[in-house]
């Protein structure tokens, strides 16, 4: 039918005849005909037999898409698709920041939790649910945040989202509806976060970050009504917001949006309390992207009461709530202690790989300054020399190693540097990659 040999009006052979011709069971032919009927391609005409009534459109041949070259990824100002192009670029070793050890995803624990959930799940749970998220997951997240981040929150105050990216989109919509059109951001700060806020229609003026974190004095002077910050482990520099600035920020009358993107990964120091644990009017966002896998697309958002109803309404209109089954499986992992065991395993592995990267940097790049080693999944290195880190990243990619230039995440002028993820790379590959960066450095 698809290639024209059986045009509309053609009468198909009787099922018994075709089964005999093909030497297969008649039931096989009957099932095939029934599927064609259900798809609308054929129709039964009684004594007139089974007749072709519509032909499927032939699928266009799939043309392979060549991966972008280093020049394609780094030759232009980074747009909304820059991270997709960056991921698609070919490289022997990938030092992308923000990627956990995907090979360590707890598949067996996930399967056990999924079997447990399916064995006890009521039929009604497969219907449309609460747009705020499945209650078991909201309860598990509330308990998780209380234990790990010192945040006391009721399950009814937790909104489950499709990652932090959706949380920012929902929050931006509520802020714009409330008359807030500007959200200050850290500089350096996440390019992806800045893109999300800007695409939602918010202005994103930069506030400098130094060794003590966000310059709260400049935030106060700037007049922005809201600020987006990563106080526990600033991205990408890795600094922690100092105690005095933390207190000053909590006294600031504007709206604070706290992205706790990798709060669980602490190595050489005790965890820094979340801002939300000390002030209820802080919007708090987190996810399992850095803990399990970004592909799960599960995050959470805590918002002050004046914005809560608007954000729940926006979530309802966006997608009626996240898929229920992954939420329930994740809730089982959290409540059973499996997620805590996975986190302890990952911390040991990450420390080993972080130490391997620091040793390689000392051996091959002794002149580079290393930032953010006490926590997280990445290191940032900066150089004194005046060269383009974008051009350096392009040369490194041409040599088979994928890294991000620090300038992607800067609005103001900044020392050249690279942001290097280590969580998903073996120590041997880390050493090889750092050696490749040394070869790519300008003389």
Q: What is the CATH classification number for the domain harbouring 411?
A: 3.90.1150.10
Indicate if the pLDDT at residue 356 is higher than 70. yes
pLDDT at 233: 93
Nearest to residue 376, comparing CAs of 242, 233, 240, 259? 233
What is the distance between the alpha carbons of residues 397 and 403, in angstroms, rounded to a whole number?
7
Q: How many residues does the chain have?
A: 443
pLDDT range class, residue 56, cuts 50, 70, 90:
confident
Number of domain units in the chain: 3
User: Does 113 map to a domain?
Assistant: no
Contact 397, 73 (CB under 8 A): yes
pLDDT range class, residue 47, cuts 50, 70, 90:
confident
- Find the DSSP H helices in 216-265: 216-222, 243-251
Q: What is the mean pLDDT of residues 357-373?
A: 96
Give the domain CATH number at 302: 3.40.640.10
Give the domain CATH number at 18: 1.10.10.10
pLDDT at 62: 58
Indicate if the pLDDT at residue 58 is higher than 70. no
Domain shared by 29 and 169, yes or no:
no
What is the distance between the alpha carbons of residues 354 and 265, in angstroms, rounded to a whole number?
12
Q: Which of 21, 37, 58 is the C-terminal boundary of a domain?
A: 58
Domain shared by 306 and 224, yes or no:
yes
Distance of CA 50 to the CA centre of its chain: 51
Pair type for strands 369-371 and 299-302? unpaired
User: Does 274 map to a domain?
Assistant: yes
What is the distance between the alpha carbons of residues 191 and 432, in angstroms, rounded to a whole number?
27
Domain shared by 328 and 366, yes or no:
no
Contact 283, 304 (CB under 8 A): yes
User: Does 64 map to a domain?
Assistant: no
Domain shared by 397 and 323, yes or no:
no
pLDDT single digits (tens) 116-170: 999 999 999 999 999 999 999 999 999 999 999 999 999 999 999 999 999 999 9
Domain shared by 212 and 360, yes or no:
no
Domain shared by 220 and 306, yes or no:
yes
pLDDT single digits (tens) 317-331: 999 999 999 999 999
Domain shared by 138 and 263, yes or no:
yes
Residue 154 burial (10 A CB sphere; 0-12, 13-18, 19+): exposed
Q: Which of 271, 301, 336 is the C-terminal boundary of a domain?
A: 336
Domain shared by 160 and 226, yes or no:
yes
pLDDT at 105: 96
Domain shared by 137 and 258, yes or no:
yes
- pTM here? 0.84
- Residue bearing the bigger pLDDT, 262 or 300: 300
What is the distance between the alpha carbons of residues 181 and 175, in angstroms, rounded to a whole number?
7
Q: Which of 315, 336, 357 is the C-terminal boundary of a domain?
A: 336
Domain shared by 250 and 311, yes or no:
yes
User: Does 65 map to a domain?
Assistant: no
Q: Cβ contacts of residue 292 below 8 Å, gap of 6+?
A: 100, 105, 106, 330, 339, 342
Domain shared by 86 and 192, yes or no:
no
User: Does 114 map to a domain?
Assistant: no
Domain shared by 187 and 299, yes or no:
yes
pLDDT at 315: 96
Name the DSSP class of 336. H
Indicate if the pLDDT at residue 65 is higher than 70. no
User: Does 144 map to a domain?
Assistant: yes
pLDDT at 54: 87
Cα 136–Cα 129–Cα 108 angle in degrees, nearest 5: 45
- Residue range of the domain that includes 356: 70-104+341-440
User: Does 345 map to a domain?
Assistant: yes
């Amino acid at each position: 039918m698809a290639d024209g040999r059986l045009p509309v009006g053609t009468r198909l052979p009787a099922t018994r005849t075709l089964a005999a011709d093909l030497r297969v069971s008649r039931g096989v032919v009957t099932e095939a005909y029934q599927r064609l009927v259900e798809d609308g391609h054929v129709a039964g005409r009684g004594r007139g037999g089974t007749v072709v009534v519509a032909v499927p459109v032939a699928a266009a041949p799939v043309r392979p898409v060549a991966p972008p070259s280093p020049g394609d990824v780094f030759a232009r100002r980074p747009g909304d698709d820059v991270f997709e192009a960056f991921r698609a670029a070919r490289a022997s070793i990938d030092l992308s920041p923000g990627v956990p050890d995907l090979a360590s995803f707890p598949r067996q624990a996930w399967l056990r939790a999924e079997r447990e959930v399916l064995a006890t799940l009521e039929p009604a749970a497969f219907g449309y649910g609460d747009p705020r998220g499945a209650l078991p997951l909201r309860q598990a997240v509330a308990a998780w945040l209380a234990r790990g981040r010192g945040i006391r929150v009721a399950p009814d105050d937790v909104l489950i989202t499709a990652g932090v990216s959706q949380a920012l989109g929902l929050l931006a919509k509520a802020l714009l509806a409330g008359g807030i059109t500007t959200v200050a951001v850290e500089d350096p700060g996440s390019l992806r976060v800045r893109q999300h806020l800007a695409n939602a229609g918010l202005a994103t003026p930069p506030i400098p970050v130094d060794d003590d974190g966000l310059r709260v004095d400049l935030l106060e002077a700037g007049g922005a009504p809201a600020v987006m910050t990563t106080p526990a482990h600033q991205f990408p520099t890795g600094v922690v917001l100092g105690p005095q600035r933390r207190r000053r920020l909590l006294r600031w009358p504007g709206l604070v949006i706290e992205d706790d993107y990798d709060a669980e990964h602490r190595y050489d120091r005790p965890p820094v309390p979340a801002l939300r644990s000390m002030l209820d009017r802080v919007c708090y966002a987190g996810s399992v992207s850095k803990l399990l896998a970004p592909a799960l697309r599960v995050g959470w958002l805590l918002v002050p009461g004046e914005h809560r109803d608007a954000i729940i309404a926006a979530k309802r209109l966006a997608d009626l709530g996240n898929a229920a089954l992954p939420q329930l499986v994740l809730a089982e992992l959290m409540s059973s202690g499996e997620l805590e065991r996975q986190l302890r395993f990952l911390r040991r592995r990450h420390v080993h790989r972080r130490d391997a990267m620091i040793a390689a940097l000392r051996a091959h790049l002794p002149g580079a300054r290393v930032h953010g080693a006490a926590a997280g999944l990445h290191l940032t290195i900066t150089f004194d020399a005046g060269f383009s880190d974008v051009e350096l990243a392009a040369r490194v990619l041409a040599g088979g190693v994928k890294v991000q230039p620090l300038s992607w995440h800067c609005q103001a002028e900044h020392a050249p540097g690279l942001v290097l993820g280590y969580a998903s790379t073996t120590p041997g590959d880390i050493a090889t990659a750092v050696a490749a960066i040394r070869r790519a450095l300008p003389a």
